[in-house]
Amino acid sequence: MSETEGTTEVPEMGNPAPAKPSFAHTFLRGLWSENPGLCQLLGLCPLLAVTNSAVNALGLGLATLAVLTMSSLLISVLHRLIWREIRIPIYVALIASLVTCVSFMVEAYYPRLHESLGIYLSLIVTNCIIMGRAEACAGKSDPLRATLDALGCGIGFGLVLLATGAIRELLGTGTVFAGGEELLGDLAAQVSTTLFAPDQGITAAILPPGGFIVLALLVALKNALDLHRRHRRENRLRIRSRRV
Amino acid sequence: MSALTHNRPLRAITAGILLCAIGCLCVWSVLYARHATAPAIEQRHMARLDSMAATLLPVSASGQGDLRLNCRLASAPGIGRNMPLYIATSGGKEIGYIVVYSSPRGYSNPLLLIAGMDTSLRLGKVDIHLSRETPGIGDKVDRRHSDFLDQFTGRALDGQFWEVRKSGGDFDYISGATVTSRAIVTATADMLKAMQNLDTRGLAPCKGGK
């Protein structure tokens, strides 16, 4: 059955569904081509507010990843019950109660984690990336695909946070991963490095304007890389055609 | 199913009921999670407070062994409403107080502070009890990030101007966290003023009999 369908290309009579992206693509697009931080510029408020040190950025990144994965899974499992007309209030209710339950449990059973991540967890309720993924992907795909998509976006956002946080911390205070032992235990105490004395730093980098500037530079870097790659591809094609 | 897609009033009503049901489910799950975790959270809170209390009193007051804390509820401007106030006794003699007080001047309430003092109201140690200040900015005053809170040790209400240096006072502040620094300095002064006029013996005991 599959053979005949695969070999003969019969145009479908109904509306042809667009080809589903592969699992790898679903995962990878969140990392680069549809990165929530660099392309969609979603979740700017927590991104700029929290990324003045690498450790804070990592904390928010981990919290976002966990909540995003859970909410996407939940929404994709329930997506038959979530009608189009009422989807937004349902997303809001589901995400808010999920985050609240998770923060209760973390507070009760993982007190150390709660002390370092607790504030980020409640920031996440208002994070529009989670709504964005629920609307764009989780609400209309199967649980596996939704989870992969959420993982990709979560990790992509986390990496942007981490990069912004590390650059700002380095410029502003001359350290990287200072105070990481609260979040990661003794492992981070070795990662933590000091490059120069804090009073030589550019204080503006830790203040809000620094966040905008660093993020803009990162976005510019990504666009430049994309542009460079496209140019190379087009140039290669042109040279080849001239020879022929 | 086709009736649901074509009959618009029916679909609207069903959607409403569905939304209601999911909303109720969400509320129930939050209430359940709160109920299930409340004892563990409460227990952890008390344990943390006990270990904190032992280090908060001034060195002159503590260190005599046989330390007992007697919890009372204090309500006064400068302290807050129904804040726990611990009367520390050693060998039947009052040696100091530990008080939790709130500051309305932080960035996001509640900002709860805790301080220990001896009976002449000389401060032992001041610490953050509960803070919702912006992570990375307002939490710089924290003991983990700076020694801002150490400057209160040994101070009393008289003899200093309770403001940050930026406004001509006697207290250092953390640049970038001036609002939180000032909130802590002024709240501590208000608390000490309130303590002078407070009749600690007349206060109601805490619930739970700690």
User: Mean per-residue pLDDT for B88-113?
Assistant: 81
Q: Distance between CA atoms of A133 and A32, rounded to whole angstroms?
A: 15
Q: Diameter of chain B by CA atoms? A: 82
Cβ separation A105–B23 shorter than 8 A: no
CB-based contact (8 Å) between B108 and chain A? no
Residue A10 is assigned to a structural domain of this protein: no
- pLDDT at residue number A226: 92
Scanning every residue of chain A, which has its alpha carbon at the shortest distance from the alpha carbon of B34? A104
Chain B nearest CA to A130, separation (Å): 17
- pLDDT at residue number B36: 93
Scanning every residue of chain B, which has its alpha carbon at the shortest distance from the alpha carbon of A122? B132
User: Which residues on chain A are in Cβ contact (under 8 Å) with B10?
Assistant: none
Top residue of A104, A107, A110, A177 to mutate, by most chain B CBs within 10 Å, is: A104
- pLDDT at residue number A159: 93
Q: Distance between CA atoms of B18 and B9, rounded to whole angstroms?
A: 14
Q: Quick check: B110 and B130 in contact, CB under 8 A? A: yes
Instruction: Write the residue in B18, B29, B41 that is nearest to A101 by C-beta.
Output: B29
Q: Report residue A93: phi and psi, to 5°.
A: -65, -45
Instruction: Write the residue in B19, B33, B34 that is nearest to A86 by C-beta.
Output: B19
Q: Distance between CA atoms of A192 and B24, rounded to whole angstroms?
A: 46
Percent over 90 (pLDDT), chain A: 25
Residue A51 is assigned to a structural domain of this protein: yes
CB-based contact (8 Å) between B10 and chain A? no
CA B90 from centre of chain: 25
pLDDT digits (tens, 9 = 90+) for A60-108: 888 889 889 999 999 999 888 888 888 899 999 999 999 888 888 888 8
CB-based contact (8 Å) between B68 and chain A? no
User: Which residues on chain B are in Cβ contact (under 8 Å) with A85?
Assistant: 11-12, 15
Residue A216 is assigned to a structural domain of this protein: yes
* Residue A18 pLDDT class (50, 70, 90 cuts): low
Query: Cα–Cα–Cα angle for B97, B61, B187, nearest 5°?
Result: 40
- pLDDT at residue number B31: 95
Q: Report residue A17: phi and psi, to 5°.
A: -70, 140
Residue A182 in this model has a pLDDT that exceeds 80: no
Instruction: Write the residue in A81, A94, A105 that is nearest to B33 by C-beta.
Output: A105
Tokens 């301080």 belong to residue: B115
* Residue B135 pLDDT class (50, 70, 90 cuts): low
Q: Between A14 and B70, whose confidence is greater?
A: B70
Q: Name the residue range of residue A76's domain.
A: 22-189+202-237
User: Mean per-residue pLDDT for B194-199?
Assistant: 85
pLDDT digits (tens, 9 = 90+) for B136-192: 566 778 777 788 888 888 888 888 888 888 888 888 888 778 888 888 888 888 888
- pLDDT at residue number A150: 93
Top residue of A45, A97, A107, A122 to mutate, by most chain B CBs within 10 Å, is: A97
Q: Pairing state of beta strands B67-76 and B80-90?
A: antiparallel
Instruction: Write the residue in B18, B36, B144 that is nearest to A86 by C-beta.
Output: B18
**In sequence order, which residues have a C-beta less than 8 Å from that of residue B95 and are 6 or more positions away?**
B57, B61, B62, B64, B67, B88, B89, B118, B119
Q: Whose CA is closest to A102, among A88, A113, A89?
A: A113
Name the E strands within chain A. Answer: 175-176, 193-194
Cis peptide before B9 (omega within 30 of 0): no
Top residue of A62, A74, A78, A85 to mutate, by most chain B CBs within 10 Å, is: A85
Query: Cα–Cα–Cα angle for B55, B59, B60, nearest 5°?
Result: 145
- pLDDT at residue number B34: 92
Q: Distance between CA atoms of A122 and A126, rounded to whole angstroms?
A: 8
- pLDDT at residue number A9: 42
Residue A123 is assigned to a structural domain of this protein: yes
Residue B210 in this model has a pLDDT that exceeds 50: no
Residue A34 is assigned to a structural domain of this protein: yes
Q: Between B23 and A117, whose confidence is greater?
A: B23
Q: Distance between CA atoms of B15 and B190, rounded to whole angstroms?
A: 54
How many separate domains does chain A show? Answer: 1
Residue A10 in this model has a pLDDT that exceeds 50: no
User: Mean per-residue pLDDT for A109-115?
Assistant: 76
Query: Cα–Cα–Cα angle for B38, B45, A113, nearest 5°?
Result: 85
User: Mean per-residue pLDDT for A128-136?
Assistant: 87
Residue A2 in this model has a pLDDT that exceeds 60: no
Lowest mean pLDDT among A48-52, A139-143, A220-224, B183-187: A48-52
User: Mean per-residue pLDDT for A23-41?
Assistant: 86
